Amino acid sequence: MLYPDIDPVIFALGPLKVHWYGVTYLIGFAAFWWLGRLRARRPDAPLQPQQVDDLLFYGALGVVVGGRVGYMLFYNLDGLLAAPLSLFAVWDGGMSFHGGFLGVLVAMGLCARKLGAGFWRVTDFIAPLVPIGLGSVRIGNFINGELWGGPAGTAVPWAMQVKCDQFAATCFDKLGLPPGTALSPPLHPSQLYEAMLEGLVLFLMLWFYSAKPRPTMTVSALFLIGYGVFRFLVEFVRMPDVQLGYLAFGWVTMGQLLTLPMILVGVALFVYALNRKHT
């Protein structure tokens, strides 16, 4: 399959350009708000429906600030040290899930304190609301033609070839193809794998698990485990960031290095929560 030539700009009004990538964030925030309001009507909810508005504001701030700072620290530290003001050059792209995740944790701590709710009850509340946004943003990555997987071979019928004059970094820097090559070899559309696993599958797991009251902390723990495992596995077929490459053994990526603690902490929290429930 040939990667479709999708214009990342939906429309432009003079200097103002509306990008699909930005719209995918808005879809994630809208889904968070709608599902949060729906979930807040349950008798066991720690928040009232109107308080979801505050939750969304804090969460969005945590995602944007944490995602940008995390990207520069985890994936482009040399660039940040060379030009500290590049931290604010958001138009150049660069957002990190793990940075956004840490930013959301801080934001939820502040929001829980303001609303008078327990931290873990708040994170259990928001965990099922997040995956739709994760999946939506991965679709944005696909539209932008970024974060490609590695060569998939001809045995994968959904693999895609990328025009090298369109995405030179993918072809020349990461795949080592000679300049002038027209098409990449068939690549894994790893953005779509993540959209399915981190988005749809993780959402269904968390939404149905939390459909009835669960021990405090277990929904948050299941989010950590589910996202961590899915991301760790997809990293095996996703090409590493060109400025970092593989960190060890010819296969360990920064994404795996940052994700492994999520899995371990998630398992520990889940076991602790269940044991506390029974004591």
Residue 32 CB neighbour total at 10 angstroms: 22
User: 78 pLDDT exceeds 90?
Assistant: no
Q: Is residue 279 part of a domain?
A: no
Residue 199 pLDDT > 90: yes
Tens digits of per-residue pLDDT, 237-274? 988 876 677 777 777 888 899 899 999 999 999 999 99
Length of the chain in residues, anyone? 279
Question: Which two tokens mark 253?
Answer: 């990526």
Range 199-206 average pLDDT: 97
* Containing structural domain, residue 57: 9-150+188-274
Residue that has been written with the tokens 């792209």 in this structure: 93
Q: Is 70 exceeded by the pLDDT of residue 89?
A: no
Structural domain contains residue 28: yes
Count Cβ atoms below 10 Å from residue 175 Cβ, excluding itself: 18
88 belongs to a structural domain: yes
Number of domains in the chain: 1
The predicted model gives 44-53 an average pLDDT of 89
∠251-97-60 over CA atoms, to 5°?
175
Tell me how far apart the alpha carbons of residues 75 and 242 are, in angstroms, rounded to a whole number. 10
* 279 pLDDT more than 60: no
Q: Is 159 part of any domain?
A: no
At residue 91 the predicted structure's pLDDT band, cuts being 50, 70 and 90, is low
- For 240-265, letters b (16+ CB in 10 Å) and e give bbeeeeeeeeeeebbbbebbeebbee
Domain membership of residue 59 (yes or no) is yes
174 belongs to a structural domain: no
Is the pLDDT higher at 180 or at 162? 162
pTM: 0.87
122-136, 145-159, 207-221, 244-258: range with lowest mean pLDDT: 244-258
User: What's the pLDDT score for residue 97?
Assistant: 75
Per-residue pLDDT band for 33 (boundaries 50, 70, 90) equals very high
* Residue 225 within a domain: yes
Residue 181, in any domain of the structure = no
pLDDT for res 96: 79
Q: In angstroms, rounded to a whole number, what is the distance separating the alpha carbons of residues 219 and 225?
A: 10
Give the lowest-confidence range in 15-19, 36-40, 205-209, 242-246. 242-246
More confident call, 241 vs 218? 218
pLDDT reported for residue 166: 67
Per-residue pLDDT tens over the stretch 97-113:
778 888 888 888 888 88
